[in-house]
């Protein structure tokens, strides 16, 4: 279970936090660290705080975009302290660990942690299938990013100790993040084609909600193929219906 979990840190400012994160990960049996546009990395402060987890730092990969870092992931979970106006499926750390364990041994997941002061942007959160929220003092709810990562890693490890090894549905092929993105692109394009969306009248709330519906559905590759088949059929019918271009 732990081998298929990637920790993604987005735009981390303090290299010390990256080192502390590596240490927390290694303590809890995690090893796959992805860094999206870290401010300073590699850095001696990261090495110092890693305190023996330098193998995690050495193996860490740096990406230019969050999309690149989660491209091959089936499930993406974004850590968020703020309550968002948009309701997104939320998990506690324990529920997050249970959900990953239930996904079985083939499920590749990513848990995404945002900037020290600003967390993840709404656009980044939209890439996530779930939000992860650590219940805490509502008057002082901003955990240090490495501390949050320590709590989540701890829950993952505790769950892994008791996780059943085999999965119930082993022949399921979940869609990757890349396939989900292509599907969303196709969906939005089709909504323009049929006039449901207009250039001057796009609603981020609406497209976000559509994203959420399909993220929550835990789509398989086959589901994606069927849904895109339907979208293509709609596009063909729509083009047939258009008056011929002059």
Site string for a second copy, 125-164 (x = CB under 8 A): --------xxxxx--xxxxx-xx--xx--x--xx--x---
Considering only the stretches 61-69, 100-108, 122-130, 231-239, report the one whose residues sit in contact with a second copy under the rule CB under 8 A.
231-239
Q: Which helix (H) or strand (E) holds 113?
A: strand 109-113
Q: Choose, by CB under 8 A, the member of 199, 200, 240, 245 that binds a second copy.
A: 240
Q: How far is the CB of 102 from a second copy (least distance, A)?
A: 13
C-alpha separations of 229 from 10, 220, 223 in Å? 35, 14, 10
Per CB under 8 A, does 86 bind a second copy?
no
Per CB under 8 A, does 113 bind a second copy?
no
Per CB under 8 A, does 165 bind a second copy?
yes
The structure tokens listed for 88 are 């997104």
Per CB under 8 A, does 168 bind a second copy?
yes
Site string for a second copy, 6-35 (x = CB under 8 A): --------------x--xx-xxxx------
Q: How far is the CB of 68 from a second copy (least distance, A)?
A: 27
C-alpha separations of 243 from 21, 182, 192, 237, 238 in Å? 59, 28, 16, 12, 10
From the list 150, 4, 145, 134, the residue with the least C-alpha distance to 75 is: 4
Per CB under 8 A, does 221 bind a second copy?
no
From the list 194, 205, 175, 196, the residue with the least C-alpha distance to 232 is: 194
Considering only the stretches 61-69, 104-112, 177-185, 224-232, report the one whose residues sit in contact with a second copy under the rule CB under 8 A.
224-232
Q: Give the three-state DSSP class for 134.
A: coil
C-alpha separations of 67 from 25, 73, 120, 159, 238 in Å? 22, 10, 13, 28, 31
With tokens 């994160």, the residue in question is 21
From the list 181, 198, 194, the residue with the least C-alpha distance to 242 is: 194
With tokens 């002059």, the residue in question is 246
Residues lying near a second copy in the complex (CB under 8 A) are found at 20, 23-24, 26-29, 49, 51-53, 87, 89-90, 92-94, 133-137, 140-144, 146-147, 150-151, 154, 157-158, 161, 165, 168-169, 172, 191, 194-196, 206, 209-210, 213-214, 216-219, 222-223, 226-227, 229-230, 233-234, 237-238, 240-242
């Amino acid at each position: 279970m732990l081998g298929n979990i990637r920790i993604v840190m987005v735009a981390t400012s303090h290299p010390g936090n990256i080192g502390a994160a590596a240490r927390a990960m290694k303590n809890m049996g995690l090893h796959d660290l992805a860094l999206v546009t870290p401010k300073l990395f590699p850095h001696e402060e990261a090495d110092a705080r890693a305190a023996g987890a330098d193998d995690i730092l050495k193996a860490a990969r740096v990406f230019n975009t969050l999309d690149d870092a989660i491209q091959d992931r089936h499930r993406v979970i974004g850590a968020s302290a703020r309550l968002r106006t948009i309701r997104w499926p939320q998990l506690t750390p324990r529920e997050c660990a249970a959900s990953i364990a239930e996904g079985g041994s083939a499920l590749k997941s990513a848990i995404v942690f945002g900037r020290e002061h600003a967390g993840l942007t709404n656009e980044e959160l939209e890439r996530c299938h779930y939000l992860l929220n650590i219940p805490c003092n509502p008057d002082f709810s901003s955990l240090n990013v490495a501390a949050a990562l320590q709590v989540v890693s701890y829950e993952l490890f505790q769950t892994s100790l008791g996780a059943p090894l085999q999965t119930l549905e082993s022949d399921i092929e979940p869609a990757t993040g890349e396939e989900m993105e292509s599907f969303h692109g196709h969906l939005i394009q089709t909504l323009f084609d049929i006039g449901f969306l207009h250039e001057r009248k796009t609603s981020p709330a609406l497209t976000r909600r559509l994203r959420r519906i399909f993220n929550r559905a835990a789509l398989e590759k086959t589901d994606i193929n069927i849904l895109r088949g339907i979208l293509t059929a709609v596009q063909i019918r729509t083009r047939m219906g258009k008056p011929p271009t002059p």
